[in-house]
């Protein structure tokens, strides 16, 4: 069965610390997509990154970086020099391809609190 | 360019009642998906609409139904509301199959009392 596990329920860090959010997934598909979304208190899910299962290159975007390791089925997300505005719930998601279309399987989320 | 618009933002209903939630997709998007997010949980897929038809459905009872209009907007209907239906309902739109990602709205917070 397709599954996404975010074992960290809540993380608190002090501003400027680095923080890594873990994501482990299970899938029977050979081609799939992985995503990270940010959910601020407003409720909207904000897209951060999409990664194709064939592309294991790590990616850096400003203070954000992602480490995709197919061998361990992990797709971890690191925020460098965290800021108070990074406080939110972060979701990892896996695409499931059925009937010619995609739906997402989300993890339970990690609540990040960045303290000033 | 407006993103995904959902209405209403908040709603309180009584057990047994029926509710309709509305979604306007992002401009240029033709596929609409609905997700239910219970408190402290990740979003759960309800169903997806494309070309006015339900293309895929998650593990939700028939009390949950939907519709897509020719302008690609969509409605989610829930009949015979239960306390457990209290959640944030998110609408997501995409172009085509959704492989390249969805744009989510801010959701409708439904409280059933």
Four-residue CA torsion sign, B89, B92, B97, B100: negative
Chain centroid to Cα B11, Å, comes to: 14
CB contact under 8 A, B99 and A95: yes
pLDDT on residue B96:
77
In angstroms, the separation between the Cα of residue A88 and the nearest Cα of chain B is: 12
Option in B43, B97, B98 nearest A106 (CB): B43
Q: Residue B55 class from Cβ within 10 Å (0-12 exposed, 13-18 middle, 19+ buried)? A: buried
Residue B105: CB partners within 8 Å, gap ≥ 6?
A44, B3, B4, B5, B6, B23, B90, B91, B92
CA distance A60 to A81: 14
Q: How many CA atoms within 13 Å lie on the side-chain side of B40?
A: 3
Task: Say how far apart CA B9 and CA B7 lie, in whole Å.
Answer: 5
CA angle B25/B5/B31 to nearest 5° reads: 15
pLDDT band at A42 (very low <50, low <70, confident <90, very high): confident
Q: Which among A44, A101, A38 has a CA at the least distance from the CA of B58?
A: A101
The angle subtended at Cα B14 by Cα B91 and Cα B89, nearest 5°, is 10
User: For A99-112, what is the mean pLDDT?
Assistant: 90
For residues A43, A49, A51, A56, the Cα torsion angle rounded to the nearest 10 degrees is -130
Is the predicted pLDDT of residue A111 greater than 70, yes or no?
yes
Q: What percent of chain A has pLDDT over 90?
A: 69
pLDDT at A57 over 80: no
| Residue range A53-62: mean pLDDT, rounded | 82
If you count residue pairs, one on A and one on B, with CB atoms under 8 Å apart, how many are there? 67
Q: What is the mean pLDDT of chain B?
A: 94
The alpha carbon of residue A85 is apart from the nearest alpha carbon of chain B, in Å, by 18
Best B7, B8, B34, B43 residue to mutate vs chain A (most A CBs within 10 Å): B43
Compute CA distances A82 → A14, A87, A113, B25, whole Å.
8, 9, 10, 33
Whether chain B has a CB inside 8 Å of the CB on A41: the answer is no
Whether residue B6 is predicted with pLDDT greater than 60 in this model: the reply is yes
| B41 neighbourhood in chain A, CB within 8 Å | 108-109
């Amino acid at each position: 069965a397709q599954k996404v596990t975010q074992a960290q329920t809540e993380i608190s860090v002090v501003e400027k610390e680095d923080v890594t959010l873990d994501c482990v997934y299970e899938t029977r598909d050979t081609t799939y997509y992985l995503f990270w979304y940010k959910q601020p208190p407003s409720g909207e899910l904000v897209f951060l990154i999409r990664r194709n299962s064939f592309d294991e290159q790590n990616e850096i975007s400003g203070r954000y970086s992602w480490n995709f390791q197919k061998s361990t089925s992990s797709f971890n997300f690191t925020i460098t020099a965290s800021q108070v505005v990074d406080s939110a719930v972060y979701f990892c998601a896996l695409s499931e391809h059925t009937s010619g279309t995609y739906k997402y399987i989300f993890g339970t989320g990690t609540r990040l609190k960045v303290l000033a | 360019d407006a993103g995904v618009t959902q209405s209403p933002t908040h709603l309180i209903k009584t057990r047994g009642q029926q509710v309709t939630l509305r979604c306007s997709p992002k401009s240029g998007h033709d596929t609409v998906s609905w997700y239910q997010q219970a408190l402290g949980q990740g979003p759960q897929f309800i169903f997806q609409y494309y070309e006015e038809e339900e293309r895929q459905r998650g593990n939700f009872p028939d009390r949950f139904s939907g519709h897509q209009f020719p302008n690609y907007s969509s409605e989610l209907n829930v009949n015979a509301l239960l306390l457990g239906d209290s959640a944030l309902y998110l609408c997501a739109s995409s172009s085509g199959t959704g492989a390249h990602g969805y744009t989510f709205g801010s959701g409708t917070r439904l409280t059933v009392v």
